[in-house]
Structure 1
């Protein structure tokens, strides 16, 4: 485009020069010779015209580019972070991060919880259909922003893995409460998980996943109680209790021995502990009850009437007192939203244990 414009301007300059030359040759004065016109005047005129045209065109080009960049949001002088991606390569985002997509841009959510808001059309290409404003995106689905639409994506989970294609603007949301892709601010267990993570009571299954619906075994819970007890290293080293099913080389052996020595647990029999056994809700209640009374020296006389719980008959006799205490102190609540249930024999999820530990700390601190 630039070269074509230069050629047109140069041609105009040459025509003007030729007209002047022709007038000079035919004028009565006859002061300019044909040789001078061809060898000196015309080459000089063309060179000067080309240079002037180039500078003029460059100024026009620069001005137009600056205007387009500003309209496209790529002018960084305003302080907003504008980016562009040609591929849907996954990128890590933090809780509260906001991504704004214009018409034609798209996104692919791999992991995490992301909410979209818009006042136009956002299409779920994978499922085939539009996405209503305020909904959360589905993992492994690809999305495209429709005509005359600006879509805003907000990360609700501790982190998210999401690819963006096309132009977009992004803004950081600040420090994330947790780094977990599978824990969202919209989840009921968000605050409990945040609490146990910040207090270093127990971490995720890996750096990015907490596994809230995963289960916890008895050995893992002993390590948590040890940390809740202030990590007393002296007690850990002096504990001299053994179980047939707890090898001295096992990573959890010191914590199991400590818990038994402090009379927090007596094991599943006089000489077994069952370290890999999943803890049930009633077992968590019993262990916290023992930890509060035998180790922390707290009053444990609070009781709740459990007669209204529809599944009370499923609770073991040895667990009912602890369950009544746990419900009475608010450490344990109903496992169902529409009726009173204890689910005593159900394996306690990691999210449920986190909720009980947070409530325990708040009630008995």
Structure 2
């Protein structure tokens, strides 16, 4: 069992505050992220670089004489995604390249336009450089597993990627990027034992970051959310800010639906789910929608558009990790005693939950 030493963490927090105060008193802190790119090759009249994040809509700049510059406001740790117009036009598809940024400053990237961002050589932010190395290697492992044929593709991919996560964290136990890797790829690829081992490898400070706490919650969830396990009660707020206690649904079958405003398959499922809700709603059945949006505004905005008639709450308490959710939509069917009957990842008509509802209610 992992133990957290709060006294040490407080000391570290005070030390970091004193250090940052002393620094800012002498040197003004840069508040922007500056991306400076050098691009080789002929763009073939497709010179634009596109970029976005979960919080910022798609934008673009133009490559001029082999160079581009992007200035972004820094607010918090986040991942930005980049792709080229060249890639989109010449290949009719594109793979966004992730740049994990945990502080303001300048990042330089050099790449060949034909090979795209995945050939980038980065300089600057250490976290960005390390994550680019991790992500590029992960993609190579994915490609290698596909080349081995469908018989071993999925199992090989997860095993190889899980081992790469473990190796990466062991080498970078004091770097924020390791907590981020475990909270993203680690959750979906690693076994419980592997994830616990790598989590212990993290420094105590990293274990207490949002990403570290998310991994700890996920580990608890993997132990607690098997079929037949009782759901630990939780309280989240509805769109009006009123507390909704999951305990209030005891005595009903509850379809817990984890979704997000940015999730296309989630939104596509809602018309069909509304039909099922009308069919089964009543004193014995309810749906609870839990939004995984990072910020509350996109959730509130899309609720006005979709108008789902069942209760909705925003996951401000990281309940998705407690339920070991790694993809959206993910749903759970809970029995009247508060125990998990089944889990469904993704959604399709006449899927596992719908078939179970037919079995329970006979219609």
TM-score, reference length from structure 1 = 0.20
Structure having the higher strand fraction is 2
Which structure has the larger Rg over C-alpha atoms? Answer: 1
